[in-house]
Amino acid sequence: MNKKKLVLVIPIFTVFLASLFASKLPDALETLAINYKFINKVKETSSLFSGYSFPFVENHYTSTFLAGTIGLVLLCILFKITTKIIKNLAKLIYEKSK
Amino acid sequence: MHIPDGFLNNNLEGVLLIEALGMIVYCLSKILKTITVTIGIIADNVSGANIDNSQSFFIFSENISKYFQRLTLIALWIFAFQMFNIPVKSTTSAHLLGGVFAAILTGPFASFIIMSFVIIIQSLFFSDGGILALGANILNMAFIGSFLSYYVYKAFSNENQHFGIFIACFFSVMAASFVCLIELKLSGSIVFSTAFKNIMGLHFGISCLEALITVTLLKVFRNVNGESNE
């Protein structure tokens, strides 16, 4: 496979593996919160893909994979917008200096 | 490591959120400044050739796109690998932070932007870390992960690059968890002295895991992206 494509395929494949094999155990901070009994202070916030699950998809693995892939797409969009803003600002500054 | 809403007190969350937003703007302005200075140099160099200003900007505009494409790829790798939780004890799991990975590849300012964007997406769309606690999470994972780890890496990588990566990972994970403890203490969630040994002991193992994953990812990323392993 083309190396340029591989650099994009690896994160998607990692999301796929994560949906199958990622540990469901609490992380270090959650463990601390459980041990020191302040876990009940947590305020649950709801968002579109809470807990890396895709709404309306019953199968857990598919749901996690879809949510993770959408996360990758959202990151691309955020960087695309930033690139556009930086390009326009750079052009503005460049033209002003001329 | 992602702090959810409710663990920290609101005032602290507010101050850290403002600080984080300020840092994002500052780092973006640093990147913008570097870009415009470079455009100026390029324009001066090509002024002798038959290329006008708009053409020279167009050439450089392509390079800006390539630069941000690389930042996007690094962000995608970090996001994906952060989803992969690995069990570290029978009751706990951990995942890559990625600050050292990003800082070595792009420098501290771009790395801070990459880490912040990953944390923002995780918080807003996946409830992985609270929205009010966004500032604390950016401080712990993006700021410490990018700036501290980058300068530690620079200080120790002259002799041996792998040793530099290991020390940078160790400091970034330990410092991030230490600052997280201070934030929890300031919010009255824990007694510092008792929690310190517990959390730092746990993160010692996690920092070794971070170092191993970072070394591997750097090698693979540079290899598939056609970059040198220096």
pLDDT digits (tens, 9 = 90+) for A44-55: 878 889 889 998
User: Which residue stretches of B47-127 are H helix?
Assistant: 53-83, 99-106, 108-126
Q: What domain count does chain B have?
A: 1
B64, A86: Cβ pair inside 8 Å?
yes
Residue B200 CB partners (closer than 8 Å, separation 6+) = B174, B177, B178, B181
- pLDDT band for B48, please (50, 70, 90 cuts): low
Map out the domains of chain A as residue ranges. Answer: 3-71
Burial (Cβ within 10 Å: 0-12, 13-18, ≥19) of residue B196? middle
Q: What is the pLDDT of residue B151?
A: 96
B102 found inside a domain: yes
Task: For residue A51, count other CB atoms closer than 10 A to its CB.
Answer: 11
B3 found inside a domain: no
- pLDDT band for A81, please (50, 70, 90 cuts): very high
Q: What is the CATH number of the domain that holds B118?
A: 1.10.1760.20
pLDDT digits (tens, 9 = 90+) for B178-190: 999 999 999 988 8
Distance from the Cα of B31 to chain A's closest Cα (Å) equals 9
Q: Which of residues 21-50 of A touch B (CB under 8 A)?
A: 21-29, 31-33, 35-36, 38, 41-50
Which site among A79, A95, A97 would you substitute to test the B interface, given the most B Cβ atoms closer than 10 Å to its Cβ? Answer: A79
Q: What is the pLDDT of residue A95?
A: 78
**Which of B41-45, B100-104, B137-141, B192-196 shows the lowest mean pLDDT across its residues?**
B41-45
B110 found inside a domain: yes
B88 found inside a domain: yes
pLDDT digits (tens, 9 = 90+) for A5-45: 889 999 999 999 999 988 888 888 898 899 888 898 988 87
Taking 3-state DSSP, the helix, strand and coil percentages for chain A, each rounded to the nearest 5, stand at: 70, 0, 25
Which residues of chain A have a CB within 8 Å of the CB of B223?
A: 3
Q: What is the ipTM of this complex?
A: 0.94
**Would you call A9 an interface residue with chain B, using a CB distance cutoff of 8 Å?**
no
How far is Cα of residue A38 from the mean position of the Cα atoms in its chain? 27
- pLDDT band for B230, please (50, 70, 90 cuts): low
Full residue range of the structural domain in which residue B167 is found? 10-32+71-224
First to last CA, chain B: 30
pLDDT digits (tens, 9 = 90+) for B169-217: 999 999 999 999 999 999 988 888 888 888 888 899 899 999 999 999 9
Give the number of residues written for chain A: 98
Quickly tell me which residue has 């002003």 as its tokens.
A96
Sign of the C-alpha dihedral computed for residues A69, B70, B140 and A78 taken in this order: negative
pLDDT digits (tens, 9 = 90+) for A61-80: 999 999 999 999 999 999 99
Percentage of chain B beyond pLDDT 90 is: 68
